[in-house]
Amino acid sequence: MRHSAIQQRRFVIVQICVLASSSSGNSTFIRTEKTRILIDAGLSKRDVLARLAAINEDAEKLDAILITHEHSDHVSGLVALARMLNVPIFITRLTAPAIPWGEYLPRLDCFQAGTTFCIGDIEIDSFTIPHDAIDPVGFCFRTQGMKVGLVTDLGYVTDSIKFHLRGSHLLVLESNHDLEMLKVGPYPWSVKQRVMGRKGHLSNDVVCDFIRSDLDSTIHTLVLGHLSEHNNHPEIVRNQAYRALDRARRALFTRLVVAEPKQQSEVFTY
């Protein structure tokens, strides 16, 4: 039995855990046998360390931190974490100056949005997304035939994004708000317009349209995240997405997971 368990571990190609995904903080962990990467650090340093420890991961073993954009719910813990770990930070050339580094001199590895680069045994495609940040990007991670897509904080799904996500086996996608909840919710009208705009956030309706029309048949697991805590609810997201999967005849083939605010996900293992 022990030998079997060891053999099973050897065949693990990639593991992914959404440490946090909501309007109050975002961070995702991905690892292979050789490489460990953190995408965004929108939690406090203490929370990042605790959530990694909860899945038996040591932050000291991180090989790099990737940043999608400069908004605080994606970088609020970045400087403190980078000071502690002193690992390379992969960030676009335009986004890097927008981070409040203070007197700290980070180990920056700046890239141009749209380029492909490698960290350890993971090949990473970056691509531009429509959001009201300086130079926001999404990522796809490829290793040993596995592909993971990560795209949140976008106003709509462009043809370029659809192209980049093709062939993904696991996709983490934003499902930020319910339109009716947003319209009657507590936000000022100017903020509501921003959220609904072409550089805002994806609504549940838009995500369901994407599922029905553009979800690739290769996707085994669809993780919907970055839910607004004021203008959405996990059960609304879950119910609407299930119906969309059913209409697309994907309900039996695609596992749906909703990343609930302030909770980390399970560890997805392939």
Distance in angstroms (rounded) separating the CA atoms of residues 48 and 82: 12
- Assign residue 196 a region (left: φ > 0; alpha: ψ between -120 and 50; beta: otherwise): alpha
Residue-wise pLDDT tens digits, 151-207: 999 999 999 999 999 999 999 999 999 999 999 999 999 999 999 999 999 999 999
Q: Which residue has the tokens 């000071």?
A: 83
Concatenate the DSSP letters of all residues of 229-244 into one string: TTT--HHHHHHHHHHH
Residue-wise pLDDT tens digits, 218-249: 999 999 999 999 999 999 999 999 999 999 98
pLDDT at 10: 52
